[in-house]
Chain A
Amino acid sequence: MANATTSGRLNRFKAMEFVVGILLFGTICLAVLFAPLLFPDGGTKIDLAARLTAPFQSFAHVLGTDPLGRDVLARVVTGGKVSLVVGFASVVGSIFVGVAMGLVAGYYRGAWDALLMRFVDVQLALPFILLAITFFAILGGSLINTIVLLIVSQCVQYARLVRGSVLSLREREFILSARAIGVADRNIILRHLLPNLLGPVIVLATLNFANNILLESSLTFLGLGVDPTIPSWGGMLADARTYLQTAWWVSVFPGLAILLTVLGLNLLGDWLRDSLDPTGRTSR
């Protein structure tokens, strides 16, 4: 019943989402990848004579300098590595752990399933940030620990998604017939179930990548996550708080970098969800 102009407009909008998303995320990834070439000193060079240069004033410091005279642009580009590495590694880890948990719980049901669902309940009742406070109080903050914490807290989402899909898939004819002709459980799971779960998992992974960057930066901002001496977006924003009155740019640009990276990923995730969802429920 949807008329042609409405769906035409929606399609154009979706195409725009993809283009803008890939441009934003792609540019930032490239910049971070080539940061060592673009800024060989990694934004660590201290130049007190040029301290607190305002942005767009000098060609040498396009985005200005911080209270120690370090170039803000160099630090923003170099600092992106932490967020991208943590985001990517935690998503890959969560996929492995979460998909395995969801497959076992959904396919075998029983005790595994009950255990998983109670784990989900507990996890829903414990806000991420409180879990993080306790976790870092025990293990201390580091890049690896931040990744581990994100995997522990986020894998449940994949487990729930996969469990739900498996519950409906396992009653479908092609699975039932594979079982009837005696295909081993392992092969049913790997060859028949897994390929059917790929789409939703990829969508979740993209959106989760975006969210993990947000979580990592807030942990580092709070002084929990990554080592504060490594340049990172969250860490720069924490340092910048003291200079909010005098140097707004030190607070603005690292945050803008987070916003644009996450926005790029969210746009891509949104586009993927619409493209992989044949019913078009979400895009109507």
Chain B
Amino acid sequence: MLFYSFFKTLVDKEVVVELKNDLCITGTLHSVDQFLNIKLLDISVAEPEKYPHMVSVKTCFIRGSVVRYVRLNPAFVDTELLQDASRREANNIKGAA
């Protein structure tokens, strides 16, 4: 659940979601759920001449399973905190097993 919590800290920030079909969607992160499905507001698709399929879409829900990358502004991420949290979660899993 670490990355679910992590993505929740990025709500209202601008992110770029790259799908597994190379489509890049930029938008403001509105919500995320436990499957890492992502909802974006005020979206724009990169290369609109090549991908005009979604020009009339302003708000979209992206299924977590089709996401390849989520590109973030490094200013929004405290990498040390994230590393610590990852380590703690890994230890918890080890401890439980």
A binds B: no
